[in-house]
Amino acid sequence: MSSSVSSQHDQVLVEENSFARILTLNRPKQLNALSFQMISRLLELFLAYEEDPNVKLVILKGKGRAFCAGGDVVAVVHDIWAGGWRAGANFFMKEFSLNYLMATYSKPQVSILNGIIMGGGNGVSMHGRFRVATENSFFAMPETALGLFPDVGASYFLSRLPGFFGEYVGLTGARLDGAEMLACGLATHFVPSAKLPMVEAALCDADSSDPVIISSIIDQYCEKPSLKAQTVYNRLDVIDRCFSQRTVEEILSALEREVVDQRDGWISATIQTLKKASPTSLKISLRSIRVGRVQGVGACLAREYRMVCHVMRGEFSKDFFEGCRAILLDKDKNPKWEPSKLEHIADTTVDRYFSKVKDEDWEDLKLPTRSKFNLPPYVIAKL
């Protein structure tokens, strides 16, 4: 086995167990950040298991204190510096293809979210049928602070959260715990981490791909967690009033009106978070989530691929590279965004992120054909 193949296999551990396959993301020192090798290996395994009649379900989890803290963005940036923007585009093409396969998978995927789930980690879990949160779960989509936007199909799953909670989560990068994930629908179940080995053992013995049966097995170990007293989920009325506004500027104005009326520290903190984020990222993220409300998951991923190619090219803004420098490389946490103000970004500039890339040989995202599989109704509803 070549060293690259060995590395690919080491980064995703495989356990064959009766009717289930347990896949463990295995880069604990990097909080299981998704490398190109991991994404390629997951794609290969999911495709093989779908064809294998002996495999009834797939369990996905992470080693250590994270499920997955996102895509390995630092590696992507280094690849772009070494080989141009297409190197970054190749990473996202492979990642989004995996996200689509998981979203349209004909067998149940059970993601055990016992730890940090951020960015690309949500792409390999939120599209699956079952998402099990614990008291250790920690969700975020922090892309606007990096000069990116919530991708990996987030414009599909964030736009389907209650009210305008998805806009709030996507624009602010808000952190949610396991109880909040269950309340808003990001998680389908909540199981105390001490019971996870029992859940896995029971699932491995289930000779079924029936989601009703799989769900009932997980239900046996579930608890109903209490939302903490200061949970943001109790502020849905304020969130809906503010984040339903048409533009980012209007969202900020609405929040500023609320803070005068309520003198609430959470509202002030939300305003400051938005003001620290990349203005370009905020504008394209809001548009993306709004468009995602009326698109299927495939259309969302295809559009996000266009957007991410424009971001990698840096033609309209280089905020992604500046955000990575300030947050991940130099870690001075003081990015210099350009343009620096929301009012300097015209709607026509935002439009460009949603257009085809004008570059020779560039193509839109080609998603894998799924028609040959007998897809369950919950999958067909996403298309």
Any idea which residues carry the catalytic annotation? 71, 120, 143, 151
Q: Which of 343, 309, 310, 338 shows the shortest CA–CA distance to 326?
A: 338
**Start-to-end Cα distance in the chain:** 39
Asked if 151 and 118 count as a contact pair (C-beta separation under 8 A), the reply is: no
Reported as half-sphere exposure (CB side, CA atoms, 13 A), residue 168 has a value of 27
d(CA 258, CA 256): 5
Report CA-CA distances (Å) from 234 to 52, 166, 227, 254. 45, 15, 9, 18
CB contact at 8 A, 203 and 20: yes
Are residues 275 and 335 in contact, defined by beta-carbon separation less than 8 angstroms?
Answer: no
For residue 42, the Cα-to-chain-centroid distance in whole angstroms is 16
